[in-house]
Amino acid sequence: MEQLPIFLEVKNRPCLVVGGGRVALRKLNHLLASGASAQVIAPEVIDEIQTLADASKITLSLRAFVDEDLDQASLVIAATDNRTLNRTIAGQAKARKLLVNVADQPEDCNFLMPAIIDRSPVVVAVSTGSASPVLARMIRARLESLVPAGYGRLAELCARYRDRVKARFNDQRDRRRFWDRVLQGGVAERVFSGHLEEADQTMERELAIGITDSGKGEVYLVGAGPGDPDLLTFRALRLLQQADVVVYDRLVAKPILAMVRRDARHIYVGKERNHHAMRQEEINALLASLAKEGHRVLRLKGGDPFIFGRGGEEIDTLAAEGIPFQVVPGITAASGCACYGGIPLTHRDYAQSVTFVTGHLKDGSIDLNWPQLAQPHQTLVFYMGLVGLPVIVAKLMEHGVPRDMPIALVQQGTTHMQKVYVGTLTDILAKVEQDPPEPPTLVIVGQVVKLRDKLAWFSANPDPERGATTPILPGD
């Protein structure tokens, strides 16, 4: 370790920035975010710096730097476009035993400004010791996904309860066990989701319970999205790593299951046509039973739990049983498959509304409001519509939808198995018969399908060497 990482208190302390360009502005913003009393000296400055001065957020002197400018400074940043001047400023600052940073001249610095992840009061700093600022920014970008914005709020909660926890538990090991449970359990999740009042209520219960297990777990209903693991939310990814038991559906992609905590128990409850591993009522009861045993239960569903995912039925049971639960939305198949297939669900010239309907057959029929679905200027998305496709096509034409209405089928959308079938109501059945798609397949009906050739540029697995100018039609 060539540098000692420290965090410096600069609140209300005089800090000097010499320079008036973009680099100076970037450094200046860090100082202001830390509460510094900042002065800028430069013959001319960009508009953003002038705006800060006009708002009295900084002191601005439109002139050249002179030695006496260092007299009151406790920290100095040299950010002019003159390397010789920057070096002179750095030498004079060091002679006065001041902290000095010189933009893009690490050899002249006695401290470096890292790439920062600000979740105040939680702050993460990344430095490569000036070897590669670009690499530091790349690492910061990756860490951003692992440190949600809610960590700052969580730290504030910890500060509020710190003294009470210390008084509640005399033994340091007990305090550590308590904080481990709080920071990885229901309190933290409620903070992350913005339910701060509920977080305080849960914290009060945890304090009353102490280090003894409450005997009751919690259920997380999490949308796994349409298949591509990159479409998971940060919150979903975090819960995958915390669950004791995972109850998952048939449509949850294997790469997503691979992200689950390694020692978690897996329970498959998937449903296929004419074959259910477990009836819905049994799934509802299973979730409640596992939570009552004290487990953190991850109910993992393809797409979104509340869009044809029967999540509402499951939380009805949990609420009736007094089981704590949280719902984490996922990208529903309609949005994910349409996007990856290059089909906008709405468009000012073609569709002003979109309707999600289930195409699941029951007793050989699909009981839907066909006159409403036949209205113009809308997009129809049929979930589970592959088996009932002949009925869907016939009913739409029977109720007045033009025979040349575009229709698209997206097979296993957003995955490497994606394939898109495009046709019209009159010819799509023949195309499907020639090359039968594999479930799950989403059906999209509407004029927006015409736009696919123009907009289907995105690939689920883009090749960075190919460049962004070459159209890529996924699954074709």
Does residue 307 have a known ligand-binding role? yes
Does residue 229 have a known ligand-binding role? no
Catalytic residues: 249, 271
Q: Which element (helix H / strand E) includes 249? A: none
Does residue 313 have a known ligand-binding role? no
Q: Which residues contact 328 (CB under 8 A, 6 or more apart)?
A: 220, 221, 222, 223, 233, 235, 236, 239, 305
Does residue 465 have a known ligand-binding role? no
Contacts 24+ apart (CB under 8 A), 1-4: 2/129, 3/112, 3/127, 3/129
Does residue 358 have a known ligand-binding role? no
Does residue 332 have a known ligand-binding role? yes
Does residue 302 have a known ligand-binding role? yes
Q: Which element (helix H / strand E) includes 424? A: strand 419-424
Q: Helix H segments across 184-261?
A: 186-192, 196-209, 234-240, 254-257
Does residue 304 have a known ligand-binding role? yes
DSSP states of 146-187 as a string?
TS-THHHHHHHHHHHHHHHHHHH--SHHHHHHHHHHHHTSHH
Closest by alpha carbon to 435, among 402, 476, 397, 381? 476
CA distance 471 to 476: 12
User: Strands (DSSP E) along 345-405, which ranges?
Assistant: 354-358, 379-383
Does residue 22 have a known ligand-binding role? yes
Does residue 312 have a known ligand-binding role? no
Does residue 44 have a known ligand-binding role? yes
Three-state secondary-structure class, residue 122: strand
Q: Which residues contact 272 (CB under 8 A, 6 or more apart)?
A: 250
Closest by alpha carbon to 386, among 354, 353, 363, 408? 408
Q: Could you check whether the bond before residue 440 is cis, i.e. omega within 30 degrees of 0?
A: yes
Residue recorded with tokens 């919150």: 235
Sort residue 465 into left (φ over 0), alpha (ψ -120 to 50) or beta: alpha
Which residues line the annotated binding site for NAD(+)?
Answer: 22-23, 43-44
Binding residues: 22-23, 43-44, 226, 302-304, 307, 332-333, 384, 413
Task: Cite the annotated binding site for S-adenosyl-L-methionine by residue number.
Answer: 226, 302-304, 307, 332-333, 384, 413
